[in-house]
Chains A and B, each alone.
Chain A
Amino acid sequence: MRPSMGLAALTAVVALVAGGCGYDATPVPEAAPEPAYEPADPPTCETTDSDLASYDPADADPSSGKVDEIRERGRLIVGVSADTYLMGYRNPENNRIEGFDIDFARAIGAAIFPNFNAGRDLHIRVINSGQRIELLENGELDLVIRNFTVNCARWETIAFSQVYYEATQKVLVRKELDDGDEDNGEYHGLEDLAGKKVCAPNPSTSLDNIQERQPEAELVPAGNHTGCLVKFQRGEVDAITGDDTVLAGLAAQDPSAVVPEQQPISEEPYGIGANADDEDLVAFVNSVLEDMRNGTWQRSYRKWLRPHLGVDATQPRPVTPYRS
């Protein structure tokens, strides 16, 4: 090897070793895209007034059948929500499940057990909305009281009491859209949602209704209504749509939110669910609901929903003729 070539090789090696020790930058993963709006499955039947009819409370016999079985067992098992503020939620102060729906569970329990003690005689079982029908069908629950809309499709698998609350789909907005000052915008109805971001759980008929009646609204889905409230508080959406009972619960948690007076978007009649075979229990529940016209229903409504919905309401009349 000639000296000049050797020196050149030497220099190259030194440069190589001294120079190159840098690492490639650690890759940053891309953020997952936000879930897109998905239409709910279309209904398999059309709900009519006759679907809201239940079993005649006059047929109730508390001394036999399912009611007697529950009394013999020593406890009434009711499926409820624990995260729907005002309807069924855990009060963190005392860890008790409270709300409008829970008052109905207590009233039914009190009608079954002579010396009713809620802690002993009423088994409140917290369930999610997807479990409502399944747990009634397999007999794990006697009743479900969990903002449960009565419709024809559900009647094919379970039974419902008469309607105990006529919920409606409405829209929740920021308070400045309901302060009477037209200069900073006011919410009057669906026409005001054009170009606005509207949130509801995905998939849901609430989102479908908005899509159908105000296609210029931008639909922003969330996992559930409380998830919508988080988006609302973070300024990611302008409005939330859903049952007025649920919206009342959301507005109660946020002083900047309001459910203004408005034309309802759809009717959501709530019933108490039971196993399809427990017609006698349903008739008994209906008799309890009729007894609640003595002021119990009104007291419960005024305590939980009236302050946040801002409107008076009356207990719905049963649809007749009764189901046979």
Chain B
Amino acid sequence: MTTVLLFGVLSALVQFWSWQSDGRAADDTEQLVLVQEIQSSLLRADALATNAFLAGANAEGDQQEEYDAAVASVFAHIAEAAEAQSADREALAALNVAVNDYATAVAEARVNNRQGFPVGAEYLNLASEGLRADAIPILANLAEANGERAEDAMGGQQPVWLVLIGIAALVVLVRVNQVLARQFRRRINVGVAVAALVVLLTTVVSAAAAARGSDQNDDLLGDELRSAVDQAAARTAANDAKANESLRLIKRGSGEVFEAPWRESAAVVEDRAAEETLDEWAAYAESHAEIVALDDEDRWLLAREIAIGDGEDDSTRRFAAFDDASDALVGEMAETTTEALRSGRGFALAGSLLTLALGFVAAVAVARGIGARRREYA
């Protein structure tokens, strides 16, 4: 009877654990997406700050507002992420300091630029460098940690364990039946047989459900979540590239210094962005190539016009098209992943409770089967 009870409790616990894992996977996925969002917003803020700086004090209105909104969203997301995952709090506190330093340096850059002082460009340059040296490595750690957590949690479905527990219970029940057969001279004990049938059916159904859940999680991991993470990484790299484009024009005469990191970021975009967003990226890259050609010929004013202009063929408009499409795609994929992870959880919990109940039923069947023999031979 203890064996069957143990089977019920263990099987229920394995299913309960899977239920918990899927919940954690959904939470970790949301945290991962939030971290990616912070990273994208931060680089977006840098792209906006550098482009607004390039436009100059008289033409920075809309971009300045967008920059302020991006930085505000970064701080809000940091607070949200710290609330959601206590293991990330120390890293997020360090990130908060780094972002604060960055925002302060950008404000100093802006004040100096408005007075026409070249030190403004240095503040901006140091802000961008500091962002990449201090904040981005913290975000990389956060993304890696939450990616691993989500992946581990998604592997929480345990069909093999359920099968092994079921087989172990069946082996014990068969052995019990053999012992009873020897002692009471009846080949099959009905109670034990009923319990074995319950164990068998419960094992088959719960293992099949767990296997299906495991496949679904593998699909989510390989498709929607991978797409969301890849597109977020592409969006981050794209904004990094756009910031470097502005910096090369701000630090006039130092084109190659900023072009090399632009090319590195562009390679990340081309490698990781979804097919449907690559046309927008190619259009932006075309504008960028024009800027580089003009800047290399020292036709700086024309290059600057393309970099800050809002015309259809200008770099900023084309870049915004890629950024918006990426943002929408990341949101869509992330939502699909977390919804799918949460949607099956009710069944898993019900299955866990049902298994527990069936374990009790099987235990009662064994008790009755043995009791009946005892009464016969009493």
Q: List residues of chain A with CB within 8 A of the CB of B115.
A: 253
Report the contact-size class of chain B (Cβ under 8 Å from the partner): 35 or more
A29 and B141: CB pair below 8 A? yes
A253 touches B137 (CB 8 A): no
Q: Do A227 and B117 touch across chains, with their CB atoms under 8 A apart?
A: no
Answer yes or no: B251 CB below 8 A from chain A CBs. yes
Partner of A13, one of B13, B133, B149: B13
A224 nearest in chain B by CB position: B122
| B90 cross-chain contacts in A, Cβ below 8 A | 25-26, 28
Instruction: Say yes or no for B262: interface residue by CB 8 A criterion.
Output: no
Assuming the contacts A6-B3, A10-B6, A227-B126, asked whether A26 and B145 have C-beta atoms less than 8 A apart, the reply is yes
Q: A3-B2, A6-B2, A13-B10 are in contact. Are A93 and B116 (CB under 8 A)?
A: yes
CB-based nearest B residue for A254: B119
Query: Does A83 lie within 8 Å of B5, measured CB to CB?
Result: no
Q: Does B313 contact A (CB under 8 A)?
A: no
A1 and B121 in contact (CB under 8 A), knowing A92-B56, A92-B57, A126-B300? no
| Residue from B88, B116, B133 whose CB has the most chain A CB atoms within 10 Å | B116
Q: Are B122 and A227 in contact, with the CB atoms below 8 A?
A: yes
Give A250 to B118 CA distance when docked, in angstroms: 9
Q: Please judge, given known A-B contacts A25-B90, A29-B138, A229-B119, whether A9 and B6 are in contact too, CB under 8 Å.
A: yes
Q: How far is the CA of A92 from the CA of B117 in the complex (A)?
A: 8
B216 in contact (CB, < 8 A): no
Residue of A nearest to B109 (CB): A230
Chain B residue contacts of A276, Cβ below 8 A: none
Known: A83-B118, A227-B122. A28 touches B138 (CB 8 A): yes
Segment at the B interface, from A14-22, A147-155, A298-306: A14-22
Smallest Cβ-Cβ distance to A82: which chain B residue: B252
Other-chain residue from A93, A95, A126, A224 in contact with B253 (beta carbon distance below 8 A): A126
**Interface readout for B15-30 with A: 1 if CB under 8 Å, 0 if not?**
0110010001000000
Asked whether A311 is an interface residue with its Cβ less than 8 Å from the other chain, the reply is no
On whether the beta carbons of A83 and B121 are closer than 8 Å, the reply is yes
Query: Is B87 an interface residue, CB under 8 A from the partner?
Result: yes
Which interface class (under 10, 10 to 19, 20 to 34, 35 or more) fits A?
A: 35 or more
Q: Is the CB of B133 within 8 A of A23?
A: no
- In this assembly, does A42 line the interface, its C-beta being within 8 Å of a C-beta of chain B? no
Contact with B along A1-44 (1 / 0, CB 8 A): 11100110110011001000111111111011000000000000
Q: Which of A28, A32, A253 contacts B133 (CB 8 A)?
A: A32
Q: Across the interface, which residues of B come within 8 angstroms of A7, CB to CB?
A: 2
Complex Cα distance A36/B219, Å?
A: 51
- Per-residue CB proximity of B123-134 to A under 8 Å, as 1/0? 100100000011
For the complex, give the distance between the alpha carbons of A131 and B298 in Å.
15
Q: Among A17, A26, A93, which residue has its beta carbon within 8 angstroms of that of B13?
A: A17
Known A25-B90, A28-B94, A227-B126; contact A1-B116, beta-carbon cutoff 8 A = no
Does A117 have its Cβ within 8 Å of any Cβ on chain B? no
The residue that A14 contacts in the complex, of B9, B108, B251, with Cβ under 8 A, is B9
Which residues on the A side are within 8 Å of B24 (C-beta)? 21
Asked if A123 is an interface residue, CB under 8 A from chain B, the answer is yes
Q: A1-B2, A17-B17, A23-B87 are in contact. Are A128 and B117 (CB under 8 A)?
A: no
Beta-carbon contact of B118 and A226 below 8 Å: yes
Give Cα A72 to B87, complex, Å.
Answer: 71
A2 to B3 CA separation, bound complex (whole angstroms): 10
- B183 CB to nearest chain A CB (Å): 18
Q: Which residues of A contact B13 (CB under 8 A)?
A: 13-14, 17
Asked if B91 is at the interface (CB within 8 A of a chain A CB), the reply is yes
Q: Is the CB of B118 within 8 A of A6?
A: no
Interface status of A89 (Cβ within 8 A of chain B): yes
Residue of B with least CB distance to A96: B301
Tell whether, in the assembled complex, residue A17 and residue B16 are in contact, meaning their CB atoms are under 8 Å apart.
yes
Q: Is the CB of A13 within 8 A of B138?
A: no
What is the distance, in angstroms, from B171's C-beta to the closest C-beta of chain A? 12
Bound-state Cα–Cα, A25 to B253, Å: 44
- Residue numbers in B under 8 Å from A82 (CB-CB): 252-253
Known: A28-B90, A32-B133, A85-B118. 13 other contacts (CB 8 A): A1-B6, A3-B2, A6-B3, A17-B17, A23-B149, A24-B87, A25-B87, A25-B89, A25-B90, A85-B117, A93-B116, A230-B119, A254-B119
| Residues of chain A whose beta carbon lies under 8 Å from any beta carbon of chain B | 1-3, 6-7, 9-10, 13-14, 17, 21-29, 31-32, 81-85, 89-93, 95, 123-128, 131, 224, 226-227, 229-230, 233, 249-250, 253-254
> Can you report 7 residue pairs joining A to B where beta carbons are below 8 Å apart?
A6-B5, A26-B88, A85-B117, A90-B252, A92-B56, A123-B298, A253-B115
